[in-house]
Amino acid sequence: MITLEHVTYHYDAENVALCDVSLTIERGELLAVVGHNGSGKSTLAKHLNALLLPDAGCVTVMGMDTRDEANTLGIRQKVGMVFQNPDNQLVTTVVEEDVAFGPENMGVPSAQIRERVDAALASVGMETFAKSAPHMLSGGQKQRIAIAGMLAMQPAVLVLDEATAMLDPKGRRDVLAIVQDLHRQGITVVMITQYMEEAVLCDRVALMDGGRLICVGTPREVFSRGEFVREHGLALPAAAQLRDKLAAGGMELPVCLTSEELADAICQYKSVV
């Protein structure tokens, strides 16, 4: 779906924000990108829809090279981005107008816009808020509207750049449930996140540090390497941390990524003992 080949990017001469990053994002996958602050995640995300162009190497979105200006509009329609701050993404005073903004700019005929807006609002469970004022909504609801605005453009890929970072736990859970739902419907999702509990739910996890892509694998492959993950400035998911403490205390359990898995492992351990 999207290929990065040896991508390097500098904001200024001294600091390299992305260094020789190669990655293939598969059609239909849910990919998490994790890394400590300043590791290059956001810079990577902005390369996926031509907001930034590589200084060296190339990014190809569904066969379109992002460096070719003739492709920019097509790429922006295929790859929808949702950012961290919900307030910066809503541009009108009525929810349904906000969701219609993208397709209107794309020149979609008005009858189709109505259909797309209704479908997009239904996808994020916000259809009853169509006539509401966005500034009256909670952070989580605003992010759901921002996602609906992207869905109304019928993208193939949705990139969420720490889209849950400013939300309360309920807002985070709601947005995450929608992301998983969209993924089940076949949309490719790239989720930049600082929450390892979110990364655990993805098909693959890409770990970044110092502008480099350090490793890519299933959550189990990546988070089984506790020491390695910590060396790159990240904490393991809470269940994996607890499992490590129990193991250090002599309770040998398999790697656990979620509280459910840990509970199962402890119950089985007890019955073996």
For residues 61 and 12, give the distance between their C-alpha atoms in angstroms, rounded to a whole number: 26
Q: What three-state secondary structure class fits 114? A: helix
Residue 49 binds to ligand ADP (criterion: CB under 6 A):
no
Residue 47 binds to ligand ADP (criterion: CB under 6 A):
no
64-65 and 188-192: which strand pairing?
unpaired
CA dist 115 to 15, 62, 120, 125, 129, Å? 46, 26, 8, 15, 16
56-61 and 79-82: which strand pairing?
unpaired
Residue 164 binds to ligand ADP (criterion: CB under 6 A):
no
Q: What is the largest CA-CA distance in the chain?
A: 67
CB of 272 to ligand ADP, least distance (A): 42
Residue 15 binds to ligand ADP (criterion: CB under 6 A):
yes
CB of 110 to ligand ADP, least distance (A): 38
Residue 271 binds to ligand ADP (criterion: CB under 6 A):
no
Question: Which pair of structure tokens corresponds to residue 258?
Answer: 């979620």
Q: Quick check: 67 and 61 in contact, CB under 8 A?
A: no
Residue 193 binds to ligand ADP (criterion: CB under 6 A):
no
CB of 45 to ligand ADP, least distance (A): 7
**Region of 31-39, 61-69, 119-127, 257-265 interacting with ligand ADP (CB under 6 A):** 31-39
CB of 50 to ligand ADP, least distance (A): 16
Residue 185 binds to ligand ADP (criterion: CB under 6 A):
no
Residue 66 binds to ligand ADP (criterion: CB under 6 A):
no
Residue 37 binds to ligand ADP (criterion: CB under 6 A):
yes
Residue that the structure tokens 């840990």 belong to: 262
- Backbone φ and ψ for 120, nearest 5 degrees, come out as -65, -45
**Region of 38-46, 51-59, 125-133, 262-270 interacting with ligand ADP (CB under 6 A):** 38-46
Q: Quick check: 51 and 81 in contact, CB under 8 A?
A: yes
Which of 52, 95 has the CB closer to ligand ADP?
52
Which of 42, 141 has the CB closer to ligand ADP?
42
**Region of 37-45, 61-69, 122-130, 264-272 interacting with ligand ADP (CB under 6 A):** 37-45
Q: Is 77 exposed, middle or buried (0-12, 13-18, 19+ CB in 10 A)?
A: middle
Q: Among 2, 7, 17, 206, indicate the residue that binds ligand ADP (CB under 6 A).
A: 17
Q: What three-state secondary structure class fits 20? A: strand
Q: Among 21, 23, 42, 124, indicate the residue that binds ligand ADP (CB under 6 A).
A: 42
Residue 13 binds to ligand ADP (criterion: CB under 6 A):
no
Residue 232 binds to ligand ADP (criterion: CB under 6 A):
no
Q: Is 237 exposed, middle or buried (0-12, 13-18, 19+ CB in 10 A)?
A: buried
User: Using CB under 6 A as the criterion, which residues of the chain lie in contact with ligand ADP when the complex forms?
Assistant: 11-12, 15, 17, 35, 37-43
